[in-house]
Amino acid sequence: MLRPRVVSVMFVSGSKGGVGKSTLVANLALLFDVDVAVVDLGVDGNMSVSMLHGVSADCPGFLDSVLLGSEPRIERSKYAGNVYVVPPGRVRGFRATVLSMANRDVLKSRVDRFVSWLRDQGFQVVLFDAPANAELMSLLYVSLLYSCDIINIVVEPSPLCLEAVQSWWDNFSRAISRSSQIVNLIVNKYMRSMNGSLSYLCKYTINGTVHKIPFDSYTLLLSNRCELAVRYREAEKFNKALQSLYKALCHQISSYLGISKSSIRKGRR
């Protein structure tokens, strides 16, 4: 029997940071019932995923592998035995931007090789947490969009964030070229008073759906304390919505892998 291939899921937020994207990625990873590789792309110095999982970011990582050919280091999360974090690496800032200006096809090939390497390590699911500032990764950002199977655009329901999403869509939607690719939109920190005003957001999806994660003050407090909300029952509103998002993603991932949803889904807390 052939081994199922790996599915790559990328989380982006347009040019507006601070929308809770990394918090979603870090918490979501704990729900899977298979080994999950979370790739922290904090080239801008914001390495929230690594911090939330208690992993040191000061070691070779994704950028070292893709841009320099070094073998990345995979660190197991301190809080979940099935979650492994690949840090951004030691190539950061301006140097990362310059090296990311290589030929797009070459970069895509390197990204695909990196994902295949993770598959060979036994991972079926890879979550990429992309930086808000796509310019820092130049063509490498576009190559990731080409390569990833599922792309989740995370926004806050504010005029500034929605404007940033429109700008992102205008600049990068052409990179989503495969008919099988899925684009979901996740409205984080959502409030019921905004119901109806966000109905037009479905235009930013491709083969996917719009998900709403309600504002939860306890989750915000835990994130500021660098703790994972999914481990606390007090963050009930957030965790309930995260479970719903997780089940939808499991359905999309299982369709790629050609396996039962129950093979990747358990929904642990």
Residue 1 lies in a domain: no
Q: Number of structural domains, the chain?
A: 1
Residue 135 lies in a domain: yes
Handedness of CA 172, 177, 181, 183 (dihedral sign): positive
* pLDDT per position as a tens digit, 65-107: 888 888 888 999 999 999 999 998 876 654 655 566 667 788 8
Average pLDDT score, the chain: 84
Q: What was the pLDDT predicted at 261?
A: 59
Residue 157 lies in a domain: yes
- What range defines the domain where residue 45 resides? 7-262
Determine the angle formed by the axes of helices 236-257 and 21-29, rounding to 10 degrees.
70
Bridging pattern class, strands 125-129 and 36-40: parallel
* pLDDT per position as a tens digit, 123-147: 999 999 998 877 777 788 888 999 8
Q: What is the DSSP string of 28-95?
A: HHTTBSS-EEEEE--TTS--HHHHHTT---SS--HHIIIII-PPPP-EE-SS-TTEEEE---S--HHH
Q: What CATH number is attached to the domain comprising 180?
A: 3.40.50.300
Residue 269 lies in a domain: no
Residue 74 lies in a domain: yes
Residue 185 lies in a domain: yes
Residue 166 predicted with pLDDT over 60 = yes
204: three-class secondary structure by DSSP: helix
Residue 25 lies in a domain: yes
Q: What's the average model confidence in pLDDT over 162-191?
A: 88
Grade residue 262 by pLDDT with cuts at 50, 70 and 90. low
How much is the pTM? 0.90
Residue 2 lies in a domain: no
